[in-house]
Amino acid sequence: MSAIPSDLQYTAEHEWVRLDGDVATVGITQYAADALGDVVYVDLPKVGAALAAGSIVGEVESTKSVGELYAPLDGEVVEANQAVVDAPETINSDPYGDGWLVKVRVASTPALLSADEYRALIGE
């Protein structure tokens, strides 16, 4: 059973989104982090990059496998979390907090899943 905070929105590709005005903070869910195992490498889009919802914008690798990071919405990257690049294990220990990945200035209102919808999706 993994944590699915009710104040966040989600994608079917296991990203979470926290909307604050027109800036969205994006990370991967605990479910995704647990499935990957220990994260050892993170590749994030650069500040200024234009994201198109659904496109592959980065990678999260564990000892065991590789996960692709999909843009959950359209927008421009305004901040990438260097701390998580330097210490990728933060994604496992605090996926919804210090393990955030990028902040994006949102270009259009995204269509995302609620916590309940995401919980149903992963069968928990």
- Cα–Cα distance for residue pair 112/85, rounded to 1 Å: 26
Applying CB under 8 A, does 92 fall inside the site for another protein? yes
Question: Could you say which of 5, 19, 61, 115 contacts another protein (CB under 8 A)?
Answer: 61
For residue 41, what are the β-bridge partners?
Answer: 61
CB under 8 A: which stretch of 13-21, 44-52, 76-84, 106-114 binds another protein?
13-21
Least Cβ distance, residue 55 to another protein (angstroms): 12
Task: Please state whether beta strands 50-51 and 75-80 pair in parallel, antiparallel, or not at all (unpaired).
Answer: antiparallel
Q: Taking CB under 8 A as the rule, does residue 87 contact another protein?
A: no
CA distance 116 to 16: 13
Q: How far apart are CA 116 and CA 107, in angstroms?
A: 25
55 interacts with another protein by CB under 8 A? no
Q: Pick the binder of another protein from 70, 96, 100, 118 (CB under 8 A).
A: 70
Identify which of 28, 86, 34, 24 has the alpha carbon closest to the alpha carbon of residue 62: 34
Which residues of this chain interact with another protein, rule CB under 8 A? 11, 13-15, 28-29, 32, 34-38, 40-41, 43, 59-70, 89, 92
